[in-house]
């Protein structure tokens, strides 16, 4: 009996020794990895909808709370409620989604554009940066500074002074504008007023293009670059020879374009609304 107790004690002490002095063993699961979660940039303007930088539109409830991405279901780059000719939409979020479509907006062109007019202004850092900003405010959808031309308030087309536009695109932006040829020596303010309308100054830049001018005027003496607040215009036929009678005129200095401008030997091309 005494031998049995002694033997049990030795076994107990041996087990205790093994557990106390044995090295700690740690197990590493090599089959487990942590998947990185990509995040999205989203619009924040809408009360009910938002658009992410993947080109999806969703409501605020369905957006992923961690990634801030919309569910990838439904149409990507949706242009729901958009006029693809004028590139204007009746919804801010769908304007951004449509704008993100690489078939409609060139990354190469957009990333060269400045956010504001000053030479020191930064350029856009991404397509989403451009679309989110451009769709929010655009002078193309406004007349007389505070009235909309149509229900398509949100536009993503390139700025009016962009050299990448063609005449077809420019014409679509004249939707809702009456283009009128004035009388000799008449300002656009006078031309439009005589028709019960107002001159839309921010549309003059669209008319300041030879392809557009030649659709409304004969331009028999060609289309020439000039400088003057009366442009775009056509020189009347009985003007002095040094003024190039019959020629159409446009200006490279767009800052001089004005509804007030006039010249005794030209007829103006005017945007009225």
pLDDT per position as a tens digit, 50-95 = 999 999 999 988 999 999 999 998 899 999 999 887 788 989 999 9
Question: To which residue do tokens 């001018």 refer?
Answer: 213
Choice between 188 and 16, residue whose per-residue pLDDT is larger: 188
Q: Is the pLDDT of residue 4 over 60?
A: no
As a whole number of angstroms, the distance between CA 14 and CA 92 comes to 77
Report the candidate in 217, 207, 191 with the shortest Cα–Cα distance to residue 250: 207
As a whole number of angstroms, the distance between CA 113 and CA 107 comes to 10
pLDDT per position as a tens digit, 5-23 = 566 666 666 665 555 555 5
Mean pLDDT score of the chain, rounded to an integer? 82
In the structure, what pLDDT confidence band is assigned to residue 33 with cuts at 50, 70 and 90?
A: very low
Question: Is residue 222 a contact partner of residue 194, using CB atoms and an 8 Å limit?
Answer: no
In the structure, what pLDDT confidence band is assigned to residue 131 with cuts at 50, 70 and 90?
A: very high
Kindly state the helix (H) or strand (E) to which residue 11 belongs, with its residue range: helix 2-21
Q: Looking at residue 31, what is its pLDDT?
A: 46
Domain boundaries defined on the chain: 49-172, 178-272
In the structure, what pLDDT confidence band is assigned to residue 117 with cuts at 50, 70 and 90?
A: low
Q: What is the mean pLDDT of residues 240-246?
A: 92
Choice between 30 and 218, residue whose per-residue pLDDT is larger: 218
Answer yes or no: pTM beyond 0.75. no
As a whole number of angstroms, the distance between CA 80 and CA 134 comes to 17
């Amino acid at each position: 009996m005494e031998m049995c107790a002694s033997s049990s004690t030795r076994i107990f002490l041996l087990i205790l020794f093994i557990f106390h002095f044995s090295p700690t063993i740690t197990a590493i699961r090599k089959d487990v990895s942590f998947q990185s979660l990509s995040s999205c940039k989203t619009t924040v303007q809408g009360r009910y909808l938002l658009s992410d930088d993947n080109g999806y539109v969703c409501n605020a409830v369905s957006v992923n709370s961690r990634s801030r991405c919309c569910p990838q279901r439904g149409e990507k780059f949706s242009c729901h409620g958009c006029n693809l000719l004028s590139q204007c939409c009746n919804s801010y979020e769908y304007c951004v989604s449509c704008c993100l479509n690489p078939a409609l907006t060139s990354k190469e062109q957009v990333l060269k554009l400045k956010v504001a007019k000053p030479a020191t202004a930064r350029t856009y850092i991404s397509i989403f940066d451009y679309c989110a900003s451009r769709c929010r405010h655009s002078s193309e959808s406004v007349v007389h500074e505070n009235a909309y031309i149509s229900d398509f308030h949100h536009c993503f087309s390139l700025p009016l002074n962009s050299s990448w536009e063609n005449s077809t695109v420019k014409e679509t932006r004249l939707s809702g504008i009456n283009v009128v040829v004035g009388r000799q020596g008449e300002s656009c303010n006078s031309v439009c007023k005589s028709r019960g309308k107002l001159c839309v100054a921010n549309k003059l830049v669209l008319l300041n293009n030879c392809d557009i001018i030649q659709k409304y005027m004969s331009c028999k003496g060609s289309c020439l670059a000039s400088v003057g607040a009366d442009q775009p215009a056509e020189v009347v036929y009985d003007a002095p020879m040094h003024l190039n009678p019959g020629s159409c005129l446009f200006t490279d200095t767009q800052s001089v374009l004005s509804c007030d401008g006039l010249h005794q030997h030209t007829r103006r091309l005017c945007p009225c609304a």
